[in-house]
Every structure is written in structure tokens, then in C-alpha cells.
Amino acid sequence: MATECSSGESWKQQPPYRHSKEDAAKFDKKHEASCHCGRVKYWLSRDAPLVAKYCHCRGCQVLHGAPFQWAAIFHKEDMMFENGTDNLVFYQSGEQTLGHDLPCKVSCAYCRSPIFDEGRRMALLFPTLIKFANKAERDAFYPQCHIFYSQRVVDIPDGKPKWDGIDGEGSLLMENVA
């Protein structure tokens, strides 16, 4: 029945949650990732992200309980969850509400591991969940830059560009300035 699925739920039938049978069959599983408890598992079909960053903003510090966030950006089509939306919860940090309202934050409903931030076309995922086979695989996810470095709680003197806000906007900060 075509009307069985309301249009409000149609996102559940889209990547990264559902792929067509043909797309799923030819999905090239380059990386596997899972949350802490293992109830949520997904695969990536690309070796490396479009771009990776460390975000030092206050919001990421609070939401991740960490000094900064490591984010890797992929097209949603390049990500595939093993069990669709099962065991996932959605949080809209802008409105501070629960529910799937893009852009939103996606976590495991059981162990609460942050899994990714979902945009309209992009998935901003957290590579700490990926089971890298070796250092070379992990190095492909090393960030090209730091963003919101002005809000940092730790210095990372790695020679990468450091933006005071979003990359490409605002100004670049020099390393080791107080």
C-alpha cells in the first residue's frame, strides 16, 4: 500500500538508514563501525572522508563529554546502517528537542554513544567508532583543519590550519597564541 508510510516517515526509507536492494547489494563495505554496546552498526563505502576536522566548539565539548570532536564528512549514500533506524535516537541541538528534524544528532538509544550528525545530504560522523585495520586506514581520516579553535580547552600543535570559527570564515589563528 503506497499510503501506508506517511511522508513524515519517508526519511527512514532513505540512506543512510535504508538503501534500495540493488544499492545494498553493491555497497562496497570499506569500513565497519559500531557503538559501544554493539547494537548499532554501520558501514562506509569509501576509504576516506570528503573532509575531516576537529571541532573545538563548546557545544561539541558538552555533547561529547570530550575536549573536542573528531568529525569526518561523507555523503549519506556512502553510509549504511545494518538495521535501519533500530536503536537510534535523534536530538535537535538547535531547538533542544527530541525527534528527527534535520540537522540533528544521532546516538545509540541503549549505550548513548554519539554516532553522527545528520544533515540534509551529508553525514558528519565520528571516526572513533570505526574499526580501523591499521594506521594507514586511520591516517586517511586525519583532520585537515581545526574549527572553533578559539573555544579550545587543549592546544593541538599539529601544524594544521586553525580557524577561530567555521573554516573558510572568520580568521585563522596562529598556533601557540595564548
Which CB atom, from 77 or from 109, has the smaller least distance to Zn ion? 109
Show the cell assigned to 123. Answer: 553525514
At closest approach, how far in Å is the CB of 63 from Zn ion?
8
- Asked whether 164 and 149 are in contact (CB, 8 A), the reply is yes
At closest approach, how far in Å is the CB of 115 from Zn ion?
8
Which CB atom, from 110 or from 132, has the smaller least distance to Zn ion? 110
DSSP letter string, 112-171: --EEEEE-SSEEEE-GGGB--SSHHHHHTT--SEEESGGG-SS---SS--BBSSSTTSS-
- Asked whether 77 and 15 are in contact (CB, 8 A), the reply is yes
- Asked whether 57 and 147 are in contact (CB, 8 A), the reply is yes
Candidates 21-29, 91-99, 110-118, 152-160: pick the segment binding Zn ion (CB under 5 A): 110-118
At closest approach, how far in Å is the CB of 121 from Zn ion?
19
- Asked whether 33 and 16 are in contact (CB, 8 A), the reply is no
Residues linked to residue 146 through DSSP beta bridges, in sequence order: 54, 162
At closest approach, how far in Å is the CB of 166 from Zn ion?
9
Which CB atom, from 39 or from 160, has the smaller least distance to Zn ion? 39
Q: What residues from 12 to 41 belong to the interface with Zn ion (CB under 5 A)?
A: 35, 37, 39
Give the rounded distance of the alpha carbon of 18 from its chain centre.
17
At closest approach, how far in Å is the CB of 71 from Zn ion?
8
Candidates 13-21, 73-81, 108-116, 118-126: pick the segment binding Zn ion (CB under 5 A): 108-116
Q: What residues from 48 to 107 belong to the interface with Zn ion (CB under 5 A)?
A: 55, 57, 60
Binding footprint of Zn ion on the chain (CB under 5 A): 35, 37, 39, 55, 57, 60, 108, 110-111
